[in-house]
Amino acid sequence: MKSVDLYPPIEPYRSGYLPVDSLHTLYWEECGSPTGVPIVFLHGGPGAGASPTHRRFFDPARFRIIIFDQRGSGRSTPLGEVRDNDLPHLTADLEMLRLHLGVERWHVFGGSWGSTLGIAYAEAYPDPVLSLTLRGIFLMTGPEIDWFFHGVRSMAPAAHANFVNFIPEDERGDLLEAYWRRLDSEDDHVRLAAARTWSMYEGSCSTLLPNAELMSTFGEARHAVGLARLEAHYFRRNRLDPDDALLRGVERIRHIPATIIQGRYDLVCPIVTADALHRAWPEAKYVIVHDAGHSAMEPTLRAALVAATDALVA
């Protein structure tokens, strides 16, 4: 690998807000070289938002780095808003942002939910996509969602027990609906308690070894509310039809250069999904990082991601 860690911290040279409809406004920023090759970063969740660290996966001398917060996430407004928030809206937003910024074609980089959105965007708008770099693959299928609520207990029983035990025993037959009732509560304390429990459950499963700094981020109020509300909303109301729609659609984008990067011990988005994607997309480069979990901040995983962006060509 040419690079072994993140690039130094940088600040945006331009930022703004893009109204995408009468309800939602997206925060966006540009870093690096204004004349560089455009690359757009798609954050996870849904609902997690982007952070300054995410600018550092890309060589600022080579790339025009475009980062934004998706509907209901991060600095976009309104935070945690679920109305008019679904995958077709998000892909259309991404295309609207491209046109707003005057980008002809760009590289697309996304992990976890960002891989979902990246694949969906490329399938809807293949022509502007120079390449896809996808990490921690999530295709929003029923088995993946079931794993989040039930399967994780086989590998992280303590974390799963904390997640389940937040809900009274008589409501545990449907954890998703039980959490949603609290995440959609008008009581701020109830809503935040549920959001933090959900978010920290995910955070505790995101690294191979415990990471206090990451857990602090997942416990932060804005992060937790955006992540938990939007994940619950998407799991409840935005399932794909058919369930494997994104995988079936790969046939339309197999001509696009792609790299799939997957932590071998990813408990949030298990490797079986990345493996299925690669079988459907054998032309894609497939990199398994054998000593990493889910988080892009895992040392060997972030090294693989930086190496992948360094290898991109215009």
Question: Per-residue pLDDT tens for 252-305?
Answer: 999 999 999 999 999 999 999 999 999 999 999 999 999 999 999 999 999 999
pLDDT in tens, 241-259: 899 999 999 999 999 999 9
Q: Is the peptide bond before 242 cis (omega within 30 degrees of 0)?
A: yes
What's the mean pLDDT when you consider all of the chain? Answer: 96
pLDDT of residue 4: 57
Supply φ then ψ for residue 170, to 5 degrees: -75, -5
Q: What φ, ψ does residue 299 adopt, rounded to 5°?
A: -55, -50
Is 59 among the catalytic positions? no
DSSP 141-167: -HHHHHHHHTGGGGT-HHHHHHHHHTS
User: What does the alpha-carbon distance between residue 170 and residue 49 come to, in Å, rounded to a whole number?
Assistant: 33
Amino acid 45: pLDDT: 96
The three-class DSSP label of residue 197 is helix
User: 14-142+241-310 domain in CATH 3.40.50.1820?
Assistant: yes
Of 76, 93, 294, 295, the active-site residue reads 294
Alpha-carbon distance values, 246 to 48, 97, 210, 276 (Å): 21, 22, 32, 11
Give the HSE-up count for residue 176: Cα atoms under 13 Å, Cβ half-sphere: 15
What would you measure as the largest C-alpha separation in the chain, in angstroms?
A: 58
Tell me whether residue 294 is one of the annotated catalytic residues. Answer: yes
CB-based contacts of 165, cutoff 8 Å, min separation 6: none
Of the candidates 174, 194, 172, the one whose C-alpha atom is nearest the C-alpha of residue 184 is: 194
- pLDDT reading at 67 higher than 90: yes
Domains in the chain: boundaries: 14-142+241-310, 143-237
Over range 127-135, report the average pLDDT. Answer: 98
Q: What percent of the chain lies above the pLDDT cut of 70?
A: 99
pLDDT score, position 283: 97
- Name the pLDDT band for 19 (thresholds 50, 70, 90): very high
112 is catalytic: yes
| Catalytic residue selected from 76, 112, 204, 295 | 112
DSSP state of 140: -
- Tell the residue number behind the tokens 């250069």, with chain if given: 257
pLDDT at residue 148 is higher than 90 = yes
State pTM to two decimals.
Answer: 0.96
CA distance to 74, 86, 179, 208, per residue, from 47 (Å): 7, 12, 16, 23
Residue range 201-220: average pLDDT? 92
Q: Out of 43, 266, 278, 295, which one is annotated catalytic?
A: 266
pLDDT tens profile 84-125: 999 999 999 999 999 999 999 999 999 999 999 999 999 999
Helix (H) or strand (E) holding 302: helix 299-310
Cα-flanking dihedrals φ and ψ of residue 75, to 5°?
A: -90, -5
Kind and range of the H or E element at 66? strand 63-68
